[in-house]
Amino acid sequence: MLYSDKVMDHFRNPRNMGTIDDADGIGEVGNAKCGDIMKMYLKIDRGIITDVKFNTFGCGSAIATSSMATEMIKGKSVKEALMLSNKAVVEALDGLPAQKIHCSVLAEEAVKAAIDNYYEKNPESFREDLFRLEDDEDSCSSGCGGCSGCGGF
């Protein structure tokens, strides 16, 4: 079988398909070769992706990978979402045929474009989100954001 059960499932029953009217970030990317387009909508609250939806004029693999990508970033931090690779999405789908790997790149790029768009519109949140996340990771109580260089001052 060319496609895994997971790919077929996400293609037939895509998760988080649609739009978000009051999205905080919207990313649109396209693949010049096949002409397919993907649009990703994010709601972001204090550095956490609270909701995500996607729309695509693309092939079945593009639908399946976007669907899986939205599931993988929903409820996660922006930082984690930025680290999501198309490879991780393909692995979560139990693989894609080699000639369809490029479709999964659209999903990764659309997530990144939507996050970019959010920080373009909310540049002040970039520092806040980054520091908050660093803070969470390091349990730093200095209130300065938890960088390693200041010794708490």
Q: Is residue 31 at the binding interface for ligand FES, with CB under 6 A as the rule?
A: yes
Binding mask 76-115 for ligand FES (x = CB under 6 A): ---------------------------x--x---------
34 counts as catalytic: yes
Please give the helix or strand (H or E) that residue 29 lies within, else none: strand 25-30
Q: Is residue 29 at the binding interface for ligand FES, with CB under 6 A as the rule?
A: no
CA distance 131 to 134: 5
Beta carbon of residue 44, minimum distance to ligand FES (angstroms, whole number): 26
The residue from 61, 66, 67, 125 that contacts ligand FES (CB under 6 A) is 61
Strand order, beta sheet including 25-30: 25-30, 37-45, 48-57
Q: Which position has the token pair 């059960």? A: 5
**CB under 6 A: which stretch of 19-27, 44-52, 57-65, 107-115 binds ligand FES?**
57-65
User: Sign of torsion, CA 58 2 111 105?
Assistant: negative
